[in-house]
């Protein structure tokens, strides 16, 4: 593990106070991704370095570089297996936990490096810039053998000849070269911080205080039996007017917004391989499994059991 050195520009002034929720982070990241500045940098970074790059929100425990034009062949192959995919997702969780204040680089079970650079606005962590899927030395047969042993422990079913060929195609750079690339990401993260600050201030000015208060209330009480009328009363609005105002501000109905908050909570709970789907559903605030299964499939695009299997494999069910 190492931290890139260098002195990026000073941080922008803090934006609106308070912790940024996962939903707010996703909204902000979507805005940043659509910006011409980010698209230009993304293209230049890929073309200049040959590395993958992604900007991802907090608590988005997925495979950040899957489908990237510069995705490493071995990682692309591993993404097809539920078991090895689960190992990569666990690495992403560790990366996020350790890169909240400063850039961090971790190695996966196969010896490949993945790095995350935090995008912060004042005390708020709003996103991560990530790159990696590289090695700091030439791949060795002994390392590949060790990696295949781990894959067999995971229960992964892969073509070892194909995996070996992909493994030895992994991009190799020196530590000094890689640290320079991470410094570039750290500088770009500062620019994204400044833009994020502007977007957050604009969003705070545009969103009625009652809606902001409602979001906080939902985040705090999503595990309870909370209704639209209760939230409306808490923010001193009629249920009818609150319903219209909330939809206008968030783009979602109160019911859909609450469902998404609960589904994201379930996803985070299921990162624990010992947590049962039913336990996670009830902890997140769902009142019945039939309702939970229906909502989860609508929001996540797959059933809870498929999602959990993709995280931990059938053996962990």
Tell me if 28 is assigned to some domain.
yes
Q: Which residues of 245-281 are buried (b: 16+ CB within 10 A; e: fewer)?
A: bbeebbeeebeebbbbbbbbbbbbbbbeeebebeebb
| pLDDT the model gives residue 123 | 76
194 and 222 belong to one structural domain: no
Overall number of domains in the chain? 2
| pLDDT the model gives residue 313 | 55
Structural domain of 86 = 22-204
Distance CA 209, CA 27 (A): 18
176 and 269 belong to one structural domain: no
| pLDDT the model gives residue 50 | 93
75 and 187 belong to one structural domain: yes
| pLDDT the model gives residue 83 | 60
- Alpha-carbon distances of 129 from 57, 104, 187, 264, 301, rounded to whole Å: 9, 11, 11, 21, 25
Token output for 54: 């992604």
- Reported as a single tens digit per residue, the pLDDT across 278-297 is 999 999 999 999 999 999 98
Tell me if 10 is assigned to some domain.
no
- Reported as a single tens digit per residue, the pLDDT across 179-228 is 999 999 999 998 888 888 777 766 655 678 898 899 889 988 999 989 99
Work out the percent of the chain whose per-residue pLDDT is above 90: 43
247 and 154 belong to one structural domain: no
153 and 256 belong to one structural domain: no
Tell me if 165 is assigned to some domain.
yes
End residue of a domain, out of 204, 233, 253: 204
288 and 302 belong to one structural domain: yes
Mean local confidence (pLDDT), 73-90: 77
Beta-strand relationship, 104-107 and 54-56: unpaired
195 and 52 belong to one structural domain: yes
Token output for 122: 């004042």
Comparing CA positions, the residue from 66, 68, 90 lying closest to residue 78 is 66
39 and 160 belong to one structural domain: yes
Query: What CATH number does the domain containing 301 carry?
Result: 1.10.10.60
- Alpha-carbon distances of 247 from 228, 240, 255, 273, rounded to whole Å: 12, 11, 10, 36
């Amino acid at each position: 593990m190492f931290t890139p050195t260098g002195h990026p520009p000073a941080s922008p002034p803090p934006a609106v106070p308070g912790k940024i929720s996962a939903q707010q982070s996703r909204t902000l990241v979507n805005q940043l991704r659509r910006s011409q500045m980010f698209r230009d940098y993304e293209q230049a970074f890929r073309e200049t370095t040959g590395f993958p790059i992604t900007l991802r929100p907090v608590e988005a425990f997925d495979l950040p570089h899957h489908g990237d034009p510069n995705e490493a062949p071995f990682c692309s192959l591993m993404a097809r297996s539920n078991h090895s995919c689960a190992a990569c997702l666990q690495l992403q969780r560790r990366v996020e936990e350790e890169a909240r204040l400063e850039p961090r680089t971790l190695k996966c079970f196969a010896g490949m490096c993945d790095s995350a650079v935090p995008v912060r606005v004042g005390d708020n962590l709003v996103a991560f810039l990530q790159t990696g899927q590289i090695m700091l030395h030439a791949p060795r047969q002994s390392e590949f053998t060790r990696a295949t042993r781990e894959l067999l422990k995971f229960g992964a079913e892969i073509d070892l000849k194909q995996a070996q060929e992909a493994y030895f195609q992994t991009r190799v750079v020196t530590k000094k070269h890689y640290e320079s690339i991470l410094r570039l990401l750290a500088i770009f993260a500062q620019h994204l911080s400044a833009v994020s600050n502007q977007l957050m201030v604009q969003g705070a000015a545009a969103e009625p205080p009652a809606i902001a208060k409602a979001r906080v209330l939902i985040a705090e009480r999503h595990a309870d039996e909370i209704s639209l009328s209760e939230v409306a009363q808490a923010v001193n609005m009629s249920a009818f007017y609150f319903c219209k105002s909330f939809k206008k501000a968030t783009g979602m109905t109160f019911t859909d917004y609450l469902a998404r908050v609960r589904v994201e909570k379930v996803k985070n709970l299921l990162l624990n391989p010992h947590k049962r789907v039913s336990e996670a559903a009830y902890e997140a605030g769902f009142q019945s499994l039939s309702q939970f299964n229906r909502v989860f499939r609508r929001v996540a695009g797959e059933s809870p059991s498929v999602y959990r299997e993709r995280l931990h494999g059938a053996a962990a069910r």
